[in-house]
Chains A and B, each alone.
Chain A
């Protein structure tokens, strides 16, 4: 009896402090933000008083209604989702051969090859954006070369920097490691005997990939897709720095509401919609992935 009481003590002593910290500095702020989405913005930013002088409680759906009022917000959301999907697909195309190569390499090189994928991820986020400012800048070799070629065909020079192209390239660049890691973790576990068996039965390289490797790798694909899609959907620094005037994404809209317009309730609405959309789409991908791999296992 005493021992059991002691065990529970230990459990709370160990899990209590981090639990308390995360309740105060993560759960509570998130909950407060959720509540703020039902309030009225204050006259000087922030929130209007919860209880008005006439005693009415300040809780309404006005900020949600605002979201539905204008198609401009829907367009920004759509654009963000499209950018995030393009980023995810581009990361998959780049990551797949890389992850395959690492998984097929001799064991002693694998950690090194993997480390080389992860290291850039640990360099500063802004530095990685800044690097593309240099590469895509109007005076850099890339822009001059490209525009030189375009001039031969009589095409007007195109700016590379401050464009959707710059935003997309950088989105792919920043998120690529998130796709390689889960893909590698999956591909590493594949049983080579399956491929040998398929070859013995006359399957060519493409058939072996498309009928065996790819379906088996779907859990890794969907895990990577979620890891890329969620942060890519909420990004604001990349369009802020590399994008043109038309490259406003949800993240920029949220930043505007909190730091410029100071309309907290509407900013909170946008943040909630962003989070729900990100988790829902990633969850959907995971669900399809499970069904897909279950189907592959049956086939």
Chain B
């Protein structure tokens, strides 16, 4: 029995190393005083300094943040409504539309939206990317909010209604404050998904608009440079903080599966 336990630990440690070693290497080499990402030479902050002077990268970062902000705000509003609606009512179409974008291969949504925008003569750019991001974030927010609602005591609402509250008042004063951690967790998730998205952005951004992932993509298609390590490290730090806060607010985040 003890031998089995040790083998289990060994296998698990291998899996954890497999998950973290690659990311650790990216971070470590971002401080490496060498152009080649091959061996450790010495400590430097040069790559971060270079990053601060890289106008293309900064404008890509601003685009990404702007899109993520708009996409997370709108998708949180719509996703919360979807989560509440799916919890409260027996619906047929909404759950399907909320969950399918998460279940089908991402590239499908990317090319479908590309055709859609071009046929409508809608200029590809920041707006088309934000509209696309909202569409795939709604489902994630809805799942988190619904999970939060599932743990809520329904009698609170009934009590409020018995005391004469309108449905809106009951929602505004009872339901919303109770599901708020879930809503905020969903918003943080949506922000992270948006700022990280590559595939759907790749198809809906058009030629002139660059976001951080698109910028990273065009850089690594040409060469491996420690500047990419530096921007990757900063981006990882940002998403790490966002997700840890979200997981703290909504522990069910850990158990939500997109299926």
Contacts and interface: CB of A to CB of B under 8 A. Distances in A.
Interface of A: 6, 10-11, 14-15, 17-19, 21-23, 25-30, 32-33, 36, 46-47, 94-95, 97-98, 100-102, 104, 111, 114-120, 122-135, 137, 139-141, 173, 176-177, 181-182, 185, 205, 223, 226-227, 230-231, 233-237, 241, 251, 254-255, 258-259, 264, 267-268, 271, 274-275, 278-279
Q: Which 4 A-B pairs have the closest CB atoms?
A: A234-B105, A131-B22, A97-B11, A15-B85
Nearest to B88: A14
Contacts of A182: 257, 259
B72 to A, nearest CB: 14
B104 interface: yes
B163 interface: no
Contact of A33 (B84, B111, B167): B111
Contacts of A134: 22, 25-26, 29, 37, 224
27 contacts: A11-B85, A11-B88, A14-B81, A15-B85, A19-B93, A30-B112, A33-B111, A97-B7, A98-B16, A101-B11, A116-B16, A118-B254, A123-B236, A126-B213, A127-B235, A130-B224, A133-B220, A135-B21, A139-B36, A140-B37, A185-B257, A205-B1, A231-B105, A235-B105, A235-B107, A254-B107, A258-B111
Interface string B111-122: 111111011000
Interface residues of B, number: 88
Contacts of B212: 124
Given A130-B224, A205-B4, A278 B97 contact: no
Given A10-B167, A19-B94, A46-B118, 4 more contacts: A33-B108, A33-B112, A33-B116, A46-B119
A18 B254 contact: no
Interface stretch (B48-56, B127-135, B150-158, B178-186): B127-135
A299 B108 CA distance: 41
Interface of B: 1, 4, 7-9, 11-12, 14-16, 18-23, 25-26, 29, 36-39, 77-79, 81-82, 84-86, 88-89, 91, 93-94, 97-98, 100-101, 103-109, 111-116, 118-119, 131-132, 134-135, 138, 142, 167, 192, 196, 198-199, 203, 212-213, 216-217, 220-221, 224, 228, 232, 235-236, 239-240, 243, 247, 251, 254-255, 257-259
B240 A15 contact: no
A173 B16 contact: no
A18 B113 contact: no
